[in-house]
Structure 1
Amino acid sequence: MSSVSPQTVLGRLRAVAWDDLEPAFAHGRSRALLMREHMRRAALWARVCGAEERWPFFDVTEYLAPAFEPAPEVAAELEEYVRRIGTPSLRRVCRGAVRWAAARSEGRVEPPELPELPDPYEPILLMFERGGGYSIEEFIDLYGVMIPYGTLDSNARAAPFLSPAHSTLDVLDALDADADGPVTYYAKISDGFPGDSPRGILRRRPVGRDTETLDEAFTRNLRWEPTEYFRRHALGHNEVDHVRITEFEAAAFIEATTKGLGASRRPAHGL
């Protein structure tokens, strides 16, 4: 885990539009996957910290370095900022992210016995940047998407979402692009290309107000483009078959394709 300065994390938080719901709806799919990744990582850290009862929204530094306090100027800026954030859970997470960065930059949370775990706050910071926060009820409400809690154990066992890669934002943007309403994903399979390593992926999404749908393939241009695959397959003109896959699996394919083509066009925060 590379460390960043607490001022950098504070700057990212200040740029979040907490009260603007439009980005939250536009980025609903990627925000849901990022929240699930936060919950997975939080479960791993909760076990290390002995913070199972506080999962999934807690301050890691409070457990690993309970006596630590950031530099006075950082602490003052942090408290001035979080007073403007609406819920105790959001305030706790924002404090935790900044305090974690401060403690990491000073080498205060790296005892030899600490296992190498992924950064506990990067997924939720990315989620904030893509449409603000959340509220806690029976589910986690991302303002357009509801996420069930599951259990700490089930989240700890979940597969990770994306590897640390410069292509992270490209993948998230591809998931969200024109993805209003229910979207179904498919993998193109054939000999040598099973469902977990397909030839390509497709999606079917609704368009307009009626029952019309649009079929698209994720292409080497790193975008979704219209495809005639399903029509040709139904007519028997295509030997390549397909199976339905999850959004998570679609994201993994997009990431692999983006990395393989070396096509990240802009710097991004890694996970």
Structure 2
Amino acid sequence: MILRRLRAIDWDDWTVAFDHSRSRALLMREYLRRSALWARHYGAESVWPFFDIAEHIVPCVQLPLDIASDLDAFLRGGIGPNSVERTVTGAVRWTELRRQGRTDLPDLPEPYEPLLLMYERGGGFYVDQAIDLNGVSLPRWGLDTAIAAPPFLTVGPATLDALDSDAKGKVTYFAVVEERFPRERPMGLIRRRAVGREPVTHDEAFSRNLRWEPTDYFDLYALGHNDTDHVEISEIEAAAFIDRVIQKYRQSRSS
């Protein structure tokens, strides 16, 4: 299953990577957070972040011969630098470890799934002074910084697509709030995009149509015509709102 997912990836399509740069950055951060938790638990700090977690749990874990052969052939095809190959190998070996039904693993989040999702949204990455995702660069966090990072748990494809949708320019998110709808569960979500060197502002609300649509909320607010207020929120908080709207829509369609 994992190898099937990996084979389906176009590892050289930079256009896809650029189009999905925001979700890929969030997914990489979540992988760094999760893998840091595993590295700390098993004393693998020196090889973190791009490593084979399974070998630090059961050094002698072996892949079935057919999977080992398929993995070797896949890697020979060329998918990127050693850091990418190590995590791909680690994801395959981790899947085998989980298949064995081990009951002695710590209660920590699945380590490789965010990274696999990131690969599926535009291929691999390169590591130099920063982590280059072909469209956005991330700083090379220390282990403690990664562990302390806020979790990014809303990783459904539709939510990730909404974050990436026409997300050009500098994007700032705002929750529309009032007494009954606090920041944690706002009544609406707006993003403001500042595009270009001499920024042109675009205000858009995430609508019940599950897409970003133009809004005059801020214009009306400035004129005193809105009874609601707003507060700036993080991209992770915005993703949580989007995910709730999508889930509610799906439930209403299935009922």
Task: Note whether the superposition's TM-score is higher than 0.5.
Answer: yes
Cα distance per residue 1:157-188 (max 9 Å; x no partner): 2221125xxx7111100000011121111111
The residue number in structure 2 matching 1:32 is 25
Structure 1 regions of 5+ residues with no counterpart?
Answer: 1-7, 266-271
Amino acid at match of 1:34: L
Amino acid at match of 1:262: R
The residue number in structure 2 matching 1:140 is 131
The residue number in structure 1 matching 2:202 is 214
The residue number in structure 2 matching 1:233 is 221
Pick the aligned partner of 2:61 from 55, 59, 68. Answer: 68
* TM superposition score normalised by structure 2: 0.93
* C-alpha distance in structure 2 between counterparts of 1:60 and 1:216, whole Å: 42
Q: Secondary structure at the match of 1:261?
A: helix
Deviation of 1:66 after TM superposition, in Å, equals 0.7
How is 1:163-242 mapped onto 2 (pairs within 5 angstroms)? 163=154, 168-206=156-194, 211-242=199-230
* C-alpha distance in structure 1 between counterparts of 2:137 and 2:205, whole Å: 27
The residue number in structure 1 matching 2:84 is 90
Q: Secondary structure at the match of 1:230?
A: helix
Q: Secondary structure at the match of 1:116?
A: coil
Deviation of 1:211 after TM superposition, in Å, equals 3.1
Amino acid at match of 2:85: R
* C-alpha distance in structure 2 between counterparts of 1:182 and 1:217, whole Å: 16
Deviation of 1:257 after TM superposition, in Å, equals 1.9
Pick the aligned partner of 1:247 from 221, 229, 235. Answer: 235
Deviation of 1:148 after TM superposition, in Å, equals 1.3
Do 1:43 and 1:152's aligned partners in 2 also have CA atoms closer than 8 Å? yes
Cα distance per residue 1:28-68 (max 9 Å; x no partner): 00000000000010011112222111111110111111111
Structure 2 regions of 5+ residues with no counterpart?
Answer: none
Cα RMSD (Å)? 1.9
Amino acid at match of 1:75: A
Do 1:217 and 1:226's aligned partners in 2 also have CA atoms closer than 8 Å? yes
* C-alpha distance in structure 2 between counterparts of 1:155 and 1:209, whole Å: 32
Do 1:10 and 1:98's aligned partners in 2 also have CA atoms closer than 8 Å? yes
The residue number in structure 2 matching 1:152 is 143
Do 2:80 and 2:124's aligned partners in 1 also have CA atoms closer than 8 Å? no
The residue number in structure 1 matching 2:108 is 117
* C-alpha distance in structure 1 between counterparts of 2:121 and 2:223, whole Å: 41
1:14 aligns with 2:7: yes
Pick the aligned partner of 1:56 from 49, 67, 80. Answer: 49
* C-alpha distance in structure 2 between counterparts of 1:146 and 1:111, whole Å: 38
Pick the aligned partner of 2:98 from 82, 100, 104. Answer: 104
* C-alpha distance in structure 2 between counterparts of 1:124 and 1:136, whole Å: 15
The residue number in structure 1 matching 2:74 is 81
The residue number in structure 2 matching 1:269 is none
* C-alpha distance in structure 1 between counterparts of 2:172 and 2:252, whole Å: 25
Q: Secondary structure at the match of 2:232?
A: strand
Do 1:258 and 1:264's aligned partners in 2 also have CA atoms closer than 8 Å? no
* C-alpha distance in structure 2 between counterparts of 1:9 and 1:253, whole Å: 30
* C-alpha distance in structure 2 between counterparts of 1:250 and 1:35, whole Å: 17
Name the % identity.
53
* C-alpha distance in structure 1 between counterparts of 2:42 and 2:68, whole Å: 23
The residue number in structure 2 matching 1:259 is 247
Q: Secondary structure at the match of 2:95?
A: helix
